[in-house]
Chains A and B, each alone.
Chain A
Amino acid sequence: MTLLLQQLLNGFSLGAIYALIALGYTMVYGTLQLINFAHGEVYMMGAFAALYLAKVSGVADNPTIPGAIVVMLGAMAFCAVLGMTIERVAYRPLRNSSRLNMLITAIGVSLLLQNLGLLMFGALQDFPSLLPEARWTVSGVMVRSNDLVIFGVTATLMVVLTWIVERTQLGRAMRAVSHSRDAAALMGIPADRIVVATFAIGSVLAGAAAVLVAMDKHTIRPDMGMTFGLKAFVAAVLGGIGSVPGAVAGGLLLGLAETLVSGYVSSTFRDAIAFLLLILILLYKPSGLFGKHVPEKV
């Protein structure tokens, strides 16, 4: 029982992070039908931006709550700018070319950023505590302050995101553009600006996820976007790419599956489970848990 509770706690914590990153994949897919493979690298760059900020601002030497908030907001802003730049420089010129061209470009941008990261930051770097850390044992289950931070930040961001998507003109326009660019244009909605906003929001969430992971693991590396980003992408597909609630559900499902498998079966299968789930969902419900239509083949 204790083991189960522990695994569930760990699983939700991991799944929350997957969900944050998966949202970026799914939102961009929704408006542009593009799998933005560079999204994982935006997440990676966010972690290094946070490291730099923490060092420069002195938060690394003197962890406090306001300090951590400043670093997180800074990394989120950095990611927003990076995501919007990628859209402007790499994707927008291809707006009228084939989806295969866009996809190849996305992979290219991803590799470019990853190698840039390797060049600039080397293989691996330590990440300091941004907050005083603590852990408690509650009836046998170890609860870490970092878990609480992850839940708190993720829940807050989800509420804000839901509010934007469901209650604001921007959110309505995002949903309209994802249905039909032409019909949206007839409302006076500038689709390009909506696409930029989508990249910005997705990247902001990736920036937050990056800081949460870095705080938790205390190491960051230029290939973290590849490994973690790929899992988050799987989560988005599990939930149904293009669906916002689907990304959240897919993230949590994947996080839980991974921790339960490593807890009860073997941690060797931990990484395999993501791809096993992916294969299963593609076989039996290709549109994903919350997806409405089968995504076209690219």
Chain B
Amino acid sequence: MSATLAVRGLSVFYGQMQALHGVDIDVPKGQITALLGANGAGKTTLLRTISGLNTPRSGSVRIDETELVGKPAHEVVSAGISQSPEGRQVFPNLTVRENLQLGAWIRKDKDGVRADMDRVVGLWPRLGERLAQRAGTLSGGEQQMLAIGRAMMSRPRILLLDEPSLGLAPVIVAGIFETIQAVNQEGTTVLLVEQNAHLALKIAHWGYVLETGAIQKRAPAAELLDDDAIRAAYLGG
């Protein structure tokens, strides 16, 4: 149920503009790794490249020993990586249940899928009450729950989360982060991209700081929480 992700020397361009400059990241098995950075630092670009939606000019992305660079995005899911993308990207015209069913696209074990749907609904009863409702009619928080739940439906070994707190009320965010921690404790490795550095570091084991496409710092999460420079830049002093 778990794996190690290793990103090495990843460089990504948009036309002439270089968005990532030889990024190295390790996401250790069974842990939560937080990736912090300001707007435009390249966090989403990194996650999209790991998932195969962007093609790097150079570098490698490995899950355990398997190289992912060069694989089309849909095969990366089969390799064990699932993503809840920035802006949630739920399918608005499909019902909540249908969104979750599509999350399980790569799976053939019907009983297992049903059990996992029960698990997601157990984590977020609000989704359970709205299974037949179109996802586009959900609140922002509910859509975020659905996006994460949908990503869990493929039984990923590594879960990538792109700013799950974006635009949500603090109480909703707290609930979502608790669930992320619970999912991790059940054995899923997590790479969590956040601007809400405080919350992210509190549940994470490791933290990285990305600035204009390059890693500036890597340290245990607790250490970053106490780091004065980090406090000033990302934790509001």
Contacts and interface: CB of A to CB of B under 8 A. Distances in A.
A70 B157 CA distance: 49
Interface stretch (A15-23, A182-190, A245-253): A182-190
A125 interface: no
B53 A185 contact: yes
Which has the most chain A C-beta neighbours within 10 Å: B82, B92, B98?
Answer: B98
B179 interface: no
A183 B89 contact: yes
A173 B74 CA distance: 12
A139 interface: no
Contacts of A179: 91-93
A184 B105 CA distance: 10
Contacts of B154: 187-188
B91 A185 contact: no
B102 interface: yes
A108 B106 CA distance: 37
Contact of B105 (A175, A182, A188): A188
Give the interface size bracket for A toward B. 10 to 19
Contacts of B98: 172, 175
A176 interface: yes
A183 B87 CA distance: 11
A175, A186, A187, A188: which has the most chain B beta carbons within 10 Å? A186
Given A185-B52, A186-B85, A190-B72, A169 B101 contact: yes
A180 interface: yes
Contact of A186 (B89, B92, B93): B89
B193 interface: no
Nearest to B79: A188
A187 B103 contact: yes
Contacts of B74: 185, 187-191
Contacts of B93: 175, 179
18 contacts: A172-B98, A172-B101, A175-B93, A176-B102, A180-B89, A182-B53, A183-B90, A185-B53, A185-B73, A185-B74, A186-B73, A186-B77, A187-B74, A187-B154, A188-B77, A188-B78, A188-B154, A189-B105
Given A183-B91, A185-B74, 14 more contacts: A169-B105, A172-B98, A173-B102, A175-B98, A176-B102, A179-B91, A182-B73, A185-B73, A187-B74, A187-B103, A187-B150, A188-B74, A188-B78, A188-B106
Closest 10 CB pairs of A and B: A188-B77, A185-B73, A188-B106, A183-B89, A190-B74, A188-B105, A187-B105, A187-B102, A188-B74, A176-B91
